[in-house]
Amino acid sequence: MPTALELPKINIVHYEMPSKYIELGAKDIDEGGVTSSPSTVSFAAKDALNAIIEEVPIKPEKVLEIL
């Protein structure tokens, strides 16, 4: 396991991209983390099981069926 001494320096850059549809340029960010979680889990299951996942959430019964 690498420690902080072995890792390269990481530069974080933030880009501002205001919305062109709203006068103030504001964008909504309240559900970003919530909506990406199910798709992330389904892609991980797809890769691990080498199968097509067509429904979210993935139920244990479906995983057993695929196995």
pTM: 0.43
Dihedral (CA of 7, 11, 17, 18) sign: positive
For 33-53, the pLDDT digits (tens) are 566 677 788 888 889 989 888
Dihedral (CA of 22, 24, 25, 28) sign: negative
Per-residue pLDDT, 32:
58
Per-residue pLDDT, 33:
59
| Residue 57: cis peptide before it, omega within 30 degrees of 0 | yes
Cα of first residue to Cα of last residue in the chain, in angstroms, is 31
**Token pair for 15:** 């880009």
**How many angstroms separate the CA atoms of 52 and 34, rounded?**
22
Average predicted confidence (pLDDT) for the chain = 82
